[in-house]
Each structure stands twice: as C-alpha cells, then as structure tokens.
Structure 1
C-alpha cells in the first residue's frame, strides 16, 4: 500500500513541524501524524538530506509509489543544485514529490511522454538556475573584494540586507514559478516592498548578500 509522507526541516525555534503539517493539510494533503518526518535544528545550507537523521529515516521508509510532501523544495537540499540531484534520486526510486507552496508536482510515474518532458524540463531549469546562481555569487564576491580595496569597510558593506540567503533563493524560485509578490511575501516572511525590490533586481540583492558574507 502506498503512503504519503511529509518531510519537515525545522531550523529555528520559531518554526515547527506542526505548522508545516497544518499548511499541508489545508492544501489538501491527507497525511497521518505518524507519517511526518522531521529534522530539528538542522541547517539546509551545510547538510545533505541523506546526512540528516530525519532524512536518513525518510529515505529508509520511502517506497516505489509513495508520495513525499514538502513545504517547498528547499527543505530537501543545501542549494538548488543539491535539490535537483535529490529530486532526481527520489523520482528514480519511484517517489512522487509534491510541494505545499505553489502546488507543484514532480510525478515519478508520468502519464505521458509529454508530462515527463515537462517535468524534466522544469528540473533542468532549476539546475541551470543553480549553476547560474553559483557563478553570479563568485563574480559578485570577486567584485566586492576588488571594491573593498579602495574604500572603507562600512562604505563597502552598506546597509545590512533585511533578508538572508534562503529567503533570496526562495523569492527567485517562486518568482520564476509565476507567484505574485504578495504570495511570495507571505511565504518568505518578508514585506511586499522588499520582495518587489529583490525580484526586480536580483543581481543587486545578490551583491548585497555577498558584501556581508551571507
């Protein structure tokens, strides 16, 4: 019998797996309490899913035909390159992945060749975005270091960003998926004006993060 699991990564004291489960149920997912797998206090930036205690338990439980629900794909990996690799591995296992935010479905058993092509194209787009982001980060950091040599530290850094790396990545992903500014603000916890600034000029936002080493 196939099952539906929820994987929740809780990295701060303000986050709870219960809240993520409530969001999933409101989105229409039928998930039993016993089928919620949680990693507490685990960084998604430094630790792969297979290296986390909850992640190991999850991968042990998942079977061909099962469905894995996550709030958003960032729960699965350290960055979007890692996320796409993990996503492809789950699909090879026969596990369909669904998201609460934006209601995306990555079907392990697509009904047609067209459905499979669309799914793989989206995953490929995410991987390409990750590659471009990594290159942009390197270039922004290099430019920041060069600029830092000719100015004071405070002038170099400017105002500290009101957002972190995770929020920046999530805003880009949601914007690429067609989400509106208000929906993105609600999902990330930032105000709408901040979301608009970041979405309209991601290169500037990236440079600001790089200057502060974020």
Structure 2
C-alpha cells in the first residue's frame, strides 16, 4: 500500500462564500471542496472524499459543522470513516478520532459538541424567522433582491431566442425563464 494521505474536506454553504479561511495552515495531500449546504446529504465532494480515503489516511475538517448539519449525520460520517480505518481531525474543536482506538471521552465530546452546534443553528434560524416576521409586520421586509434581470430575459425572448437558450445564456433554470415570461404577460 502507498503513502498514507492527509485529506482535507472543506465546505461552505453557498457559492458566494469563500473557503480560504478553512484549514489555512494545514498541510494536505488532497482536498475536497464543497459549496453547498450541509442540510443536503447528497454532497458530491463528501461522497468523493468518502470513496477516496483508504485505511491509514486522515481526514482533516475545519470544524464539526463543516462536516455535518446535525448530530446524527456527524456521528454517522465519523463512524463510516473510522470503520474504513481512517482517522478524523477537527481543527477548531481540537478533537481527533482514530480508527484503531475508541476514546470514550472524545466520543462523548463529539456527541455533545455536535448537539450544541445543532442547537445553536436551530436557535439562529428561529431568531431569523422571528426577525423576518417582525420586519414583515412593519412592512420593512422585502426579501432578497432579484439576481435575474427580467428585462434582459424578456428582450431575448422577444428577439426570438428560445426559452432553453435564454436560460442557458443567463445561467438560470428554464422554469425561471418561464416564470418571468408568465409574469410579464400578466402585467
């Protein structure tokens, strides 16, 4: 068998976010970078990383919440890696899980810290919903700004471009183009 690898898993929740702050000073042989919410369990780079790692490798993650959104998923992923003989290190929490040992204290900390992170996230979302409702009640919440220029879409359609080609040109879904067309006809 070849050299053991240090494999980094880096995740941010959206394409606009930057991954640069994660694992800045950590040397690694390979990295898997994901720009997708952890609520989605179908994460291509997570799957690729899980398939890539081999016995003796170490997976390094900035923090637990970068690997999983909830305690159940966190525990499952760590157990999957350990079962393959792969160690897992969480830099922010300073926790390591090795395949060859079963450290009761680390297992307790993983479960507790994972639960605390999940609880914090749920509280943050609850406060966010409450803030949005309060702003709506005052007439101050408008939602996020449109990222699609409807006028350009309508101009392309009026110019004879098909719905599919218009969608491809602007990098949006066909359904978005259809919705814009329908909305423009209603006004």
The structure carrying a bigger helix percent of its residues is 1
Same fold (TM over 0.5): yes
The normalised TM-score by structure 1 is 0.51
| Residue 17 of structure 2 is aligned to residue 14 of structure 1 | yes
User: Does the residue aligned with 1:102 lie in a helix, a strand or coil?
Assistant: coil
After superposition, the CA RMSD in angstroms is 3.0
Q: 1:39 to 1:105 in 2, by over 3 A?
A: same
Gaps of 5+ in 1: 134-167, 170-201
What CA distance in whole angstroms lies between the structure 2 residues aligned with 1:93 and 1:62? 8
Q: 1:208 aligns with which of 94, 113, 127?
A: 127
- Cα gap change, 1:128/1:77 in structure 2, threshold over 3 Å: closer, same or farther? closer
1:189-210 per-residue CA deviation (whole Å, 9 max, x = no partner) reads xxxxxxxxxxxxx97x676356
Q: Is contact 2:64–2:114 with CA below 8 Å preserved after alignment?
A: no
Please say which structure displays the higher CA radius of gyration.
2
TM-score of the superposed pair, with normalisation by structure 2: 0.57
Q: How does 1:76-115 map to 2 (within 5 A)?
A: 76-110=67-101
Partner of 1:172: none
- Per-residue deviation, 1:81: 2.2
Q: Structure 2 regions of 5+ residues with no counterpart? A: 134-187
Secondary structure class of the residue paired with 1:59: helix
Number of aligned residue pairs: give it.
130
Using the TM superposition, give the Cα deviation of residue 90 of structure 1 relative to its aligned residue in structure 2, in angstroms.
1.4
Q: Measure, in 2, the Cα distance between the counterparts of 1:43 and 1:103.
A: 23
After alignment, is 82-91 or 56-65 more displaced?
A: 82-91
CA apart distance, 1:36: 0.9
For the residue of structure 1 that corresponds to 2:32, the secondary structure is: strand
For the 8 Å contact 2:65–2:117, the answer to whether it is kept is: no
Contact 1:8/1:75 (8 A) holds in 2: yes
SS of aligned partner of 1:20: coil
User: Could you say what secondary structure the match of 2:103 adopts?
Assistant: helix
* 1:85–1:14 CA distance, 2 compared to 1 (3 A): same
In the alignment, which residue of structure 2 is the partner of 1:3? 5
